[in-house]
Amino acid sequence: MKKIVLLFLSVIIIYSCGQNSDSNAIAALEEKLEASKDPKDAEALLAAYNEHLEDHPEDIMNARYLYRSASTMWRMNRFGTATEHLKRAISEYYSSDNTPKAAELLSETYDNKLDNHGAATSVRQAMLTAFPDYENMAKIQDKMKADTLDFNGRMVQMSRDMFNPTTGRINYRTANDFILNCELFTMVNPNGEANPGWLHRAAETARSIKNFDKAIELYKKIYNDYPDSDRAPQAMFLHGFTLDNDLASFEEAKVQYDAFLKKYPDNDFADDAQFLLDNLGKSEEELIRSFEKK
């Protein structure tokens, strides 16, 4: 027993030493870049951040490293990549005390660098609920116009603008904006009661523009992050249906339908799931013939 304890402690010590070594190396690179402003030093620092994130994914310091990485990318005019790092900092390390700061920089990036004022507003509106005591909240409120609709009103309006009333065609840019705004709002304020509904609407919008991978990503988020929501069973079913009907990934669809039926055997969609499972990969003609035989 003593040997096991000693072995366990030695592993912890080695792991901690590795983290400390990384942190010291990163600190040295940060100081070097601050003094030199050399793009090569910036690239070396970004590589060090990424290596630490890969080697120590559970380290709470990663929230700060992702923020600093995004700040470095700002100075290099890589604003799109900066937003991805900030979103990762918020979504993967939400409990960090650096999260409000990351959300603020995210809103500034959308507003001032990517000219997506709607996305910036969604982040700020989510922050009002999620971080009411944040030290910069007054400044954030000042950046929102007094006549701005709340998130619900803005998304309802965007839903209407998504379709051309004359042609009936969908506006792909507005559809993608709708998806992005729903993702940002629910990410920054993950405890919102309406979040499963917004994510469901975003997933259905993604399916309507044939972005099936995004739809599946959003369905998974609903039933993984909000398992007690009324939307969770439907999202799990629609994940399988998208694999089946839209992507013709029948083996993956089978796994998903089976998982759905095991978890929700009495759900309203259970009969549909069983029927689709029994007829995976069959053409319309084959289905008609099978009905005729019955």
Element (H, E) at 48: helix 39-55
Mean pLDDT of the region 8-25: 55
**Residue where the block lists tokens 């399988």:** 240
Residue 158 above 80 pLDDT?
yes
Residue 17 above 90 pLDDT?
no
Q: By C-alpha distance, which of 194, 211, 200 is closest to 153? A: 194
Taking only the tens place, the pLDDT of each residue in 31-52 is: 999 999 999 999 999 999 999 9
State CA 176 to chain mean position distance: 14
Averaged confidence pLDDT in the chain: 91
- d(CA 117, CA 291) in angstroms, rounded, equals 53
Burial (Cβ within 10 Å: 0-12, 13-18, ≥19) of residue 159: middle
Q: Residue 180: what pLDDT?
A: 98
In one letter, which amino acid is 160?
R
Q: Residue 172: what pLDDT?
A: 95
- d(CA 114, CA 67) in angstroms, rounded, equals 18
In one letter, which amino acid is 232?
A
Share of the chain above pLDDT 70, in %: 91
Taking only the tens place, the pLDDT of each residue in 59-104 is: 989 999 999 999 999 999 999 999 999 999 999 999 999 999 999 9
Q: Residue 165: what pLDDT?
A: 82
Give the confidence band of 166 by pLDDT, cuts at 50, 70, 90: confident
Residue 286 above 80 pLDDT?
no
